[in-house]
Amino acid sequence: MAVAPLRGPAAHRPDDRATDRHSHRRRVIHIVDDISITVVNPTKMLDMDSQPSLRSSTVRDWAGLAARIILGATLLVAGIIKATDIDSTIWSVRTYQIVPWDLAPVIGWTMPILEIIVGLMLIFGIATRWSGLLGTLAMVVFIVGISSVWARHISLDCGCFGNGGPVDRNWDLTQRTYVLDILRDLGLTLCGVWLVIRPRSALSVDHWITRVCLLYVR
């Protein structure tokens, strides 16, 4: 098909028109190639777009599993140790000098039972958001308790894993111990907060129940 020459001062020279035609032809070929790829295999294009989000979701699921195991195992171990020596646990509660003397046995018996239950729920991924919330609240209570005795210059072992009570040691060493205990509990708190915000995680009973319910609905 013949192309009419441009008129006026903006007219191109013959070699310029040939160059423009070749360039235009290449652009048309590229456009057609792009359209054919999209039309012929649109699913592949969608899959390519969704792959990063799927990978990101998978990473978050496994991060949730790690948070569950870390927080759950810590609570489970702490609860079992406390449950094996209730008298020591009650004494540890009293040494904090926060709750009334007669209320310490109630806390000493209740705390290890709750720690074991919540720890098992987290490990298996049962009611993950609520168990994560309970684990977070437990860590906050422990942080407040340690901060309280620190502020009152009371030197004691936190009793987080049993055998708590007053200790006779240098105050600087006691303060360093309190800092480490609080940092540990802050890390565990972050695990719980993650599970509250995003309870979905890999290898959880919650996930299996959801899949079964979806299959039943279908």
Place of tokens 């990473």: 59
Identify which has the larger pLDDT, 178 or 56.
178
CB 204 within 8 A of CB 65: yes
CB 165 within 8 A of CB 159: yes
- In terms of Cα–Cα distance, which of 84, 92, 72 is closest to 112? 84
| Cα gap 213→35, rounded to integer Å | 41
pLDDT at 217: 73
pLDDT at 211: 81
pLDDT at 7: 53
Q: What is the pLDDT of residues 4-36, one digit of tens each?
A: 554 554 444 545 454 555 554 555 444 333 333
Above 50 in pLDDT, residue 44?
no
pLDDT band for 177, please (50, 70, 90 cuts): very high
The mean pLDDT of 88-93, rounded to a whole number, is 93
Above 50 in pLDDT, residue 48?
no
| Cα gap 210→202, rounded to integer Å | 12
Which residues lie closer than 8 Å to 157 by C-beta, 6 or more apart?
Answer: 92, 163, 164, 165, 167, 177
Above 60 in pLDDT, residue 38?
no
Q: What is the share, in percent, of the chain residues with pLDDT greater than 90?
A: 61
Which residues lie closer than 8 Å to 9 by C-beta, 6 or more apart?
Answer: none
Q: What is the pLDDT of residues 57-76, one digit of tens each?
A: 889 999 999 999 999 999 99
Q: What is the pLDDT of residues 100-156, one digit of tens each?
A: 999 999 999 999 999 999 999 999 999 999 999 999 999 999 999 999 999 999 999
pLDDT at 165: 85
Helix 104-124 crosses helix 42-83 at what angle (to 10 degrees)? 150
CB 92 within 8 A of CB 164: yes
pLDDT at 17: 52
Cα-based distances in Å from 123 to 74, 145, 201, 204, 212: 10, 26, 11, 8, 20
pLDDT at 45: 39
